């Protein structure tokens, strides 16, 4: 009788899954160790609520490969249920009339109260929610192996002048000062933090967000290119083509002293079993203390012909902004919750600092969108800026010529 009950129960569960197991296909580019572990939690949450997550993962740290795949699917009339998209791209997709309206989910779950006001406009189109944010990443972090600094007799720098002194000592001691990958988005990640540090938040806003021609062509921008050239001299010859997470591994394995990268790097340290404060440190990129370059991952939801898939979309949107998922996901990903009021206890010192810095930077007008990570400008302008930075990084072009090229590239795409 007991065996029969177990079989009957299993059949009942199977029946429930067939009724409520509608697939929700999700496109994303979270494929590295820490990222994959984090996204699996969202998959588990959705599956536990009666839907089946269908993974559409496209490798590539900045999402360019994923966007190419997404455009092909949408043009073919077969979009996924949800796709990881960021910044101005959300508005561009909304303009095409292909996105689902999420106002009913937002109202039922108090998104207007949960989400900081300075972020809400990113997820809305003409006043309506068309995207759901997942997290907030800080870009202007420098990841440090303190043991390498000790062995080299170097001090962790807070200015670019101090950086050069430290890097020379580290290089002389036989270590690689800067772990770097050779991809355009990684080079741009360093460059935008340099611009912030050299010019300050007001200059960054004018140049990298407002695209002011005078700021783009200024001596401050030229000095930023000079600093980028200086950093390049402290990378290793095998950097070209290297993925960002492999550069992170160079730091935690003690081969390199520093890496400039957003706080998703923390997930890699965690997966490797490293501990903040002893095995690695996170400090502000030189001269950027008090400013916060942000990158927010979001999902847009495409209109679906199937009513059950639409319900699955909305369930996914609801789950993303629940405290449980915001906590689990962001602890694993290295980012911080995008909603307010999430319990602080599970988060480490780096995350707690990041949470506090968001509020402080918003108050001082130093909370700024990342150009490198699709938060500040259109993809066309971003691509043009990338081309200028990458050409400079991989050639002996002068800073003056690169500055002129930057002005021209932006003007041509406006």
pLDDT for res 231: 98
| Choice among 142-156, 191-205, 364-378 with the minimum mean pLDDT | 364-378
121 against 143, higher pLDDT: 143
DSSP, collapsed to helix, strand or coil, labels residue 258 as: strand
On whether the CB atoms of residues 353 and 130 are closer than 8 A, the answer is no
Q: What is the pTM of this model?
A: 0.86
> What is the average per-residue pLDDT within 108-115?
94
Structure tokens at 389: 């930075």
pLDDT band at 62 (very low <50, low <70, confident <90, very high): low
> What is the average per-residue pLDDT within 10-24?
48
pLDDT for res 8: 36
Which of 3.40.190.10, 3.40.50.720, 3.30.110.40, 3.40.50.150 is the CATH number of 141-293+370-413?
A: 3.40.190.10
Q: How far apart are CA 26 and CA 298, in angstroms?
A: 12
Q: Do domains 22-137+296-352 and 141-293+370-413 have the same CATH topology?
A: yes
pLDDT for res 61: 61
Annotate 21-47 with three-state secondary structure.
CCEEEEEECCCCHHHHHHHHHHHHHHH
**N residues, the chain:** 414
| Choice among 126-140, 181-195, 329-343 with the minimum mean pLDDT | 329-343
Per-domain residue ranges for the chain?
22-137+296-352, 141-293+370-413
Name the superfamily (CATH) of residues 22-137+296-352: Periplasmic binding protein-like II (3.40.190.10)
Residue 133 has what DSSP assignment? E
Q: What mean pLDDT value characterizes the chain? A: 91
At which residue do the structure tokens 């580019």 appear?
A: 29
Percent share of the chain, pLDDT over 90: 76
> What is the average per-residue pLDDT within 80-96?
93
3-state helix, strand, coil in the chain (%, to 5): 55, 15, 30
| Choice among 60-64, 157-161, 374-378 with the minimum mean pLDDT | 60-64
pLDDT for res 92: 92
Q: How far apart are CA 290 and CA 253, in angstroms?
A: 30
Each residue of 389-405: pLDDT tens digit?
999 999 999 999 999 99
Each residue of 47-58: pLDDT tens digit?
998 999 999 988
292-301 and 82-85 beta bridge pairing: antiparallel
Residue 209 CB neighbours (<10 A): 15
């Amino acid at each position: 009788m007991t065996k029969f009950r177990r079989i009957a129960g299993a059949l009942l569960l199977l029946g429930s899954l067939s009724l409520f197991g509608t697939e929700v296909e999700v496109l994303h580019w979270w494929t590295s160790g820490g990222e994959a572990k984090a996204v699996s939690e969202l998959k588990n949450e959705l599956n536990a609520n009666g839907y089946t997550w269908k993974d559409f993962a496209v490798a590539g740290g900045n999402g360019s490969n994923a966007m190419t795949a997404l455009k092909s699917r949408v043009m073919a009339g077969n979009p996924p249920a949800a796709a990881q998209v960021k910044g101005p791209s959300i508005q561009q997709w909304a303009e095409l009339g292909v996105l689902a309206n999420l106002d009913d989910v937002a109202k039922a779950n108090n998104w207007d109260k949960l989400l900081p006001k300075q972020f809400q406009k990113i997820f809305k189109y003409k006043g309506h929610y068309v995207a759901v944010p997942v997290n907030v990443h800080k870009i202007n972090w420098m990841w440090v192996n303190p043991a390498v600094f000790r062995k080299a007799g170097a001090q962790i720098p807070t200015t670019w002048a101090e950086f050069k002194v430290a890097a020379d000592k580290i290089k002389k001691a036989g270590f690689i000062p800067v772990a770097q990958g050779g991809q355009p988005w990684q080079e741009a990640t360093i460059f935008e933090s340099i611009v912030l540090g050299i010019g300050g938040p007001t200059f960054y806003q004018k140049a990298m967000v407002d695209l002011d021609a005078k700021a783009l062509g200024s001596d401050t921008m030229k000095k930023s290119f000079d600093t980028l050239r200086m950093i390049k001299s402290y990378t290793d010859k095998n950097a070209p083509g290297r993925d960002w997470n492999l550069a992170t591994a160079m730091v935690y394995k003690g081969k390199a002293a520093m890496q400039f990268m957003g706080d998703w790097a923390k997930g890699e340290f965690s997966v490797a079993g490293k501990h903040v404060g002893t095995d690695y440190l996170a400090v502000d990129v030189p001269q950027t203390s008090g400013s916060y370059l942000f990158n927010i991952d979001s999902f847009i939801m495409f209109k679906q012909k199937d009513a059950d898939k639409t319900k699955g979309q909305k369930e996914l949107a609801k789950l993303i902004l629940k405290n449980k998922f915001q906590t689990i996901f962001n602890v694993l990903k290295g980012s911080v919750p995008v909603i307010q009021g999430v319990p602080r206890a599970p988060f480490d010192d780096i995350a707690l600092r990041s949470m506090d810095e968001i509020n402080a930077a918003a108050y001082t007008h130093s909370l700024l969108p990342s150009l490198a990570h699709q938060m500040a400008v259109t993809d066309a302008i971003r691509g043009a800026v990338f081309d200028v930075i990458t050409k400079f990084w991989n050639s002996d072009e002068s800073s003056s010529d690169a500055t002129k090229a930057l002005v021209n590239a932006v003007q041509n795409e406006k």
